[in-house]
Amino acid sequence: MATDTATIYEAPAALLEELPVKACYVGPEAASRLATFLSERGVQRVLLVLDENTRTAGAHVLVPALESKNITITEFSYPAEIFEATDTEANKVSEAAAGMDAVIGLGAGTLSDLAKQAGTLNKIPCVLFPTAASMNGYTSGIVALKVRGLKRTQTCIPALGVFADPEVVSTAPQRMVAAGVADFLSKCSSNTDWQVSHHLRDVFFTDRPRKLVGDVQDRIFENAGAIGAGNPAAIGIAMEALLTSGFGMVIAGSSAPASGGEHLISHFIDMKHALEGIPNDLHGAQVGVATIYTLGLWEKILALKPDDIDVEACIAAQPTEAQIKEWVFEDWGDKVGAEVWPQWLEKQLDADGLRHEITLFKNRLSDIRKDLETDFRPPQKVSDCIAACGGPVTAEELYAPAEVFHHAKGRARYLRNRFTVLDLAAELGLS
């Protein structure tokens, strides 16, 4: 078990050579390394994006480190991190960053996304000093911004450096850390979705993201109790897991290794939150409960035998296009529905397409099962780990309404053109 906070992770030089990120470090020297990194690149003026909570968590180590290198700091400060990253907020931060040499995000998901977007729009480096091991976006080239009420991921220039101090990160609320662990573990399902979409729909797949993550998943399972107890070194491992998972998305060129059907369920709740004001929960908290559900679907799918699958009966049981259209507009209304509907049309199959896909699945089932074993973990194992870290494992434990979560299990597949286990399970008549 992890006991001290020596350097926990440092991205190897060979990896950094092929990535846009040029430094990635988890350990006690994070603030001074960040300051040196900027100073060596001639940075003299920075915009520091933070809020009052993250100021308390990390400014006392970060600010003196920057000052010791004579870097001038201009703050862009929010009262508290309870808002959402929208394109309007990103534009405000971006305007403040004009004329700066770099932008620093001191915070978790929202503040990091705003800093990344401000760096991208101004074509200046962005570096991050995370305050919570709560999500895997620190090293990714993706920001989640709400545009006209619809939360969409869009590409950005990734942070040039990410420096995480375990002592700082471990001051975040336990629920945030558990959410980060759950977001990381969602890859047990999302990577499985991705690989099967390669088998069935010829989607590009590479196992490099999996290799990058290495053995950190095992260390997360081993250290779940210590993470739950707030041990900084163990929380540093959670941070390592999230950072390497972000690299995987950069290498894959999409969020596919870390975002499958379980993320669609979470997006469904977030969109209902935006449109109807229902409460929602932390991204990773929702994703974790959804992952336990989608791993349950995978468990049922992988237990099938080819002879169990009656292709024609499966096709006959599918809802009609008219029925699905009614559901989409019932869930989202005219305005958002008009943006959602084309997403579904891009991946929907007619009867012949379904016949081909289900038959292909049937014929390749033993190969698929073998391939998927690498990523798939039983839902109970993932649930036990999230619970040990202090996170929710049932819909009823989420701050979001349980009935919305349960409704999303059937309807979230219509939100996005990406093929996921939600589609495969529906095609096979499983829920």
Residues of this chain that bind Zn ion (CB under 5 A): 183
DSSP readout, 171-223? TS-HHHHHHHHHHHHTHHHHHHHHHHHHHHH-----SHHHHHHTTHHHHHHHT
Identity of the residue numbered 244:
T
Q: Which two tokens stand for residue 261?
A: 């059907």
**How many angstroms separate the CA atoms of 120 and 407, rounded?**
37
Which CB atom, from 33 or from 263, has the smaller least distance to Zn ion? 263
Closest to 24 in 3D by CA, of 284, 323, 68, 33: 33
Which CB atom, from 94 or from 190, has the smaller least distance to Zn ion? 190
Helix/strand/coil for 112:
helix
Q: How far is CA 231 from CA 31, 138, 166, in A?
A: 20, 21, 9
Contacts of 224 (CB under 8 A, 6+ apart): 181, 384, 385, 388, 389
How remote is the C-alpha of 190 from its chain's centroid?
Answer: 10
**How many angstroms separate the CA atoms of 210 and 198, rounded?**
15
Which CB atom, from 183 or from 357, has the smaller least distance to Zn ion? 183
Q: Is-contact 344 260, C-beta < 8 A?
A: no
**How many angstroms separate the CA atoms of 61 and 299, rounded?**
46
Closest distance to Zn ion from the beta carbon of 45 (Å) = 33
**How many angstroms separate the CA atoms of 224 and 383, rounded?**
11
Which CB atom, from 97 or from 264, has the smaller least distance to Zn ion? 264
Closest distance to Zn ion from the beta carbon of 242 (Å) = 9
Closest to 129 in 3D by CA, of 212, 72, 198, 64: 64
Which CB atom, from 165 or from 183, has the smaller least distance to Zn ion? 183
Closest distance to Zn ion from the beta carbon of 13 (Å) = 28
The separation between the first and the last C-alpha atoms of the chain, rounded to the nearest angstrom, is 38
Which CB atom, from 341 or from 399, has the smaller least distance to Zn ion? 399
Q: Residue number with the shortest CB distance to Zn ion?
A: 183
Closest distance to Zn ion from the beta carbon of 105 (Å) = 17
Closest distance to Zn ion from the beta carbon of 238 (Å) = 14
Closest distance to Zn ion from the beta carbon of 289 (Å) = 13
Which CB atom, from 51 or from 183, has the smaller least distance to Zn ion? 183
Closest distance to Zn ion from the beta carbon of 43 (Å) = 30
Which CB atom, from 33 or from 267, has the smaller least distance to Zn ion? 267
Which CB atom, from 5 or from 217, has the smaller least distance to Zn ion? 217
- Which bin fits 65, alpha (ψ -120 to 50), beta or left (φ > 0)? alpha
Which CB atom, from 81 or from 183, has the smaller least distance to Zn ion? 183
**How many angstroms separate the CA atoms of 242 and 109, rounded?**
12
Closest distance to Zn ion from the beta carbon of 187 (Å) = 9
Closest distance to Zn ion from the beta carbon of 255 (Å) = 8
Contacts of 421 (CB under 8 A, 6+ apart): 189, 192, 193, 196, 260, 261, 294, 297, 298, 301
Contacts of 10 (CB under 8 A, 6+ apart): 24, 25, 26, 27
Closest distance to Zn ion from the beta carbon of 136 (Å) = 6
